[in-house]
Amino acid sequence: MQGDPRQVPYDMRPHRDAVHAWFSLSYSNYAVLPRTLLQSMPDEWQKRFVELLEELHTEFAHVEQADGYEVTAGSWLYANECSSAQLKAAGVKIVETDDEDGTDDETCYVNRDGDEIDGHQYVFVPGTEPIPHYSRGRTYVPPASVLKTLRIEPGE
């Protein structure tokens, strides 16, 4: 049971500004955090992070949630800027149609749901994951603060 939000007085609700602002103008419904990077943060930071996750879990234990999610690395690209291989990976098909007067072919894109989309719409093209696998906690990616302390430029 989730509870009826109308029963909670407005002044008891969070203003939602911090998290909403963090997501910026994206339409993302979820934050995906790479485990390898989380495990590479300092121990005290990890402890605080886990405490916040546990608090979140406790506060919303009454809300039905999915058992898991499938996350895919990739890029959002405009349909009309994708190669044929990228369109295929994104599940987008090109259908050539005649212009209204029948003189020109017009490019039409159809997504995996069968919906016609504009060439200037973003499509998700699956790609390779740039962050290494966490490897049971053994993988370490030095945070920028560690590199700075050691006077190492990122990418060296």
Residue whose token pair is 């209204």: 100
Identify the three-state secondary structure at position 3. Answer: coil
13-72 pLDDT per residue, tens: 777 688 888 888 777 899 999 999 999 999 999 999 999 999 999 999 999 999 999 999
Identify the three-state secondary structure at position 154. Answer: coil
Tokens encoding 154: 């990122």
pLDDT beyond 60 at 1: no
pTM (whole model) above 0.85: no
pLDDT beyond 70 at 96: yes
pLDDT beyond 90 at 114: yes
Decide: 107 and 80 in contact? Cβ < 8 Å.
yes
So what's the pLDDT on residue 9? 79
Give the percent of the chain with pLDDT over 70: 91
Phi, psi of 125 (to 5 degrees): -110, 110
